[in-house]
Structure 1
Amino acid sequence: MKENNLQNNANSIVTANEIRTILSDFRIGKKPLAKLLGWGETTIIRYIEGDVPTAEYSNKLKAIAQEPAYYYELLLENRDNLTNVAFRKSMQAVLEKMTERKIDLIAQYMILFCQGDMSPGYTQWLLYYSQAFSLALLDKELFEEDYNVNSENAPYIRLYNSMKKHGVNVFEIPGGRLSEEEKKLINKVLDTFCWYGPKALKSLTSYERANFRISRDKEGRRIISKDTIKNYFKEILQQYDIHSMNEIHKYPDKRFQDFKAN
């Protein structure tokens, strides 16, 4: 883990309340957190009681508060600094935090399904197709994030940046948070699109994106709305005679044949 992963918060010292939130979110005590970070045993206690952290220590605590994946890395690297009970308790908490958003949960399900053999970019495309076929076949969104239009060609840019920064982590996800229907759809998308390499999926998604109308969300960011994706893939279902999840494979198989024919 590189120190430049820490965010530069020189003008914003971590507050006592932010530290308390860290302790609560990651279910770890004041002394164990200090030990995990390699600091003096009473360091966290002193900060909560009013001592002002150094910029370096503040930045590290800010990074923990803002990025659960960073705390996950710290836990793995410094697990010998904790008792087994404290480690297991905090590890369970951080895994729950890392999959708090539905999109993160689904991404982790995909990573586990593929045994970690996925890049940040490839994960983006699989999330996009899972969302698209859920909207078209099931008439419901799989997760709430909109498709973001950006120079990275990463529809779900927050997740993409996090995976690029912290890498691909493989761990079991909390049970019961994905329905059997959702898992079946995701599995069908994975079985279908994982046959194709990055170049093939990049060309396919680029073709589709050229046919989408770009709009803006409430914050003015350029997006492709879920309704736009839904309507486009409803037409795909009709064009390629797709009536169920088991027939999703018809789309890329025939689309690539069309590409070759043209």
Structure 2
Amino acid sequence: MSPNALIPSHRKPRRPSASSRALRAGVTGGFLTLAVTGATVPANAAEKPVSETQEMPTITTALATSAARSADTAKQVAFNYELQARQDSAVSQADKAAEKDKAEAVKKAKAAAKKKAEKARKAEEAAQARASRSTERSTLSAPSSSSATGSAAAIIAFAEAQIGKSYVLGSSGPSSYDCSGLVQAAYKRVGIDLPRVSQGQSTQGTQVGLDNLQPGDILYWGSAGSAYHVAIYIGDGKFIGAQNSSTGIVERPLDYDMPTGAVRVL
């Protein structure tokens, strides 16, 4: 036996480690638990502060927000460009429409001015023609009036005063007449009432031959009782009548349109 066998040991009994206890407990309980002890972590390798670990997400969020804003700005700019383009197009179309309307208005104004000038020219020509007829009438009226007396002269004077007025079917004056309306109005000046239409006037008074005419006689075209036109004989182989809508009231020689017959009511 060793001399030291009975000397108590100065070493403290070794306590089982936590892993040993866990192992034994696991075996006892019917399952085996293995605890692996990792390497010792240095003291200076402590967990970093939260602020440092969140820095990257914060930067990423800022970049995403900035990108979103940039996208919104780009969309707004694009929308503004599109809106401006539409406005410019609308303005352009409005300008074109205004130019077209203006051109059309100018065209219509020119046409109206041309029409007005043409109307004025025709009115001037008509006035000159009336003046010419008036001069001619003044020249020719003396012989016809000189050969007429009394009621015949008054009838002829009235008829001469109507020369140049319009022919209007059914009109009895004073601005226009048809053929029988003129004859009726002329004879009414001397107090003689005649029928209104040519047929009735062609049967009044006494029938006379065309070779025995006197100023104031009524000339008719057609047959007595069914005449279609009448006029007033003024002497010197002439008559005054409301011929038609083209000539109006005129003075003409007998051979211009030879009548069929004549009646004398004076």
Q: Tell me the TM-score normalized by structure 1.
A: 0.23
Q: Which has the higher helix share?
A: 1
Higher relative contact order (CA 8 A, sep 6+): 1
Q: Please give the TM-score of this superposition, normalised by the length of structure 2.
A: 0.23
Structure number with the higher strand fraction is 2
